[in-house]
Amino acid sequence: MTIKQHHTIAPVRSPSRDTAQPSASWLIRRKQKLNLLLPGVIASVIVAASASFLSEHYGAPVMLMALLLGMALGFLSQEGRAVAGIRFTSSTILRIGVALLGMRITVEQILSLGGTLMAVVIGAVFLTISFGIILSRLLGQSRDFGILSGGSVGICGASAALAISAVLPQDKDSERNTIFTVISVTALSTIAMIAYPPIAQWVGLDDQQAGVFLGATIHDVAQVVGAGYSMSEQTGDTATVVKLLRVAMLVPIVFSLSLLLRKRREEGPRPALPLPLFIIFFVLFVAINSSGVASAQVQEFAGDVSRWCLITAIAALGMKTSLKALLDVGWRPATLLVSETVFLATLILIAVKWLG
């Protein structure tokens, strides 16, 4: 009996094997997730590269090209191996791109504008969003769409639309509204880039006043730069700095929306932080850029990565949106965005002439 009992004793396990198993399991799960996401991410990057090529060679807005090319490949987001990666690109990679926008801004640039001008630009952003909310209700649209459209017009166009949509409560129309807003503000920004410099000359604005007008009213950064430097170097410099102040308004706007709209998410899982992680990193990158620690090469690299992330995310959003769904939006949302654009331009023009 004793001999049999000795033979049934279980062998002692090696501690190294036990500790190695969780590590191997974690690597397997990471590899499986990578294999799941990679096809959709690669498809989005290819569309983004194609959009950049068309933009560079034909002068078309890169965001618009990415959207249209993505929409042409919408079948990829419906079924198949690319679905998960497209969803990941339109959410996570989008947030990375928005966070890296902070590497384009310094506190010194913003403070150089002076208190009065800063108050005018910041006030115009809040007034445009308020105008969008009020007009959206009058036109029978949702309050969230008024916030989304007003924020994109008031702050920085497509980038603001993507950042704000990331914190708004999601419903069946959320992605459609985001895509419609991105298309509309990109088109309106291109029109403004062409039309606003002659308007500035017609009303008799000097170089600095023209820079303030262009930087505070044109939606996207690229179009602000194009319009500003087409008039003069001083106008371009002023327009760029004013535009960066508007981009910096992403932080307080998204932070405020996160707090105000948190109660509407109580039925679902609530985030551990009241402020989205990508906005925290946005602030961190602004601080790093302002401290002078980052070299010019690092700043340029971060800017390029941010640009590619945003273009790739736009391509993925385009894949998730059907043209029919956009056509179903109707004339009211278009009227809302055009009205917000005209409201902002009129407001800034009056303020610049009054202050001048």
Selection from 231, 151, 155, 161 nearest residue 194 by Cα: 231
Q: How many helices (H) and strands (E) does the chain have?
A: 18, 0
User: Which positions ≥6 away from 161 have C-beta within 8 Å?
Assistant: 148, 149, 151, 152, 178, 181, 182, 185
| pLDDT number for residue 49 | 93
How far apart are the C-alpha atoms of 178 and 148, rounded to whole Å?
Answer: 8
pLDDT at 348: 93
pLDDT of 292-334, one tens digit each?
888 889 888 988 898 898 889 888 878 876 666 666 667 888 8
Instruction: Identify the segments of the chain with pLDDT beneath 70.
Output: 1-24, 222, 262-276, 321-329, 356
Radius of gyration of the chain (CA): 24
pTM of the model: 0.66
Place of tokens 């419903």: 171
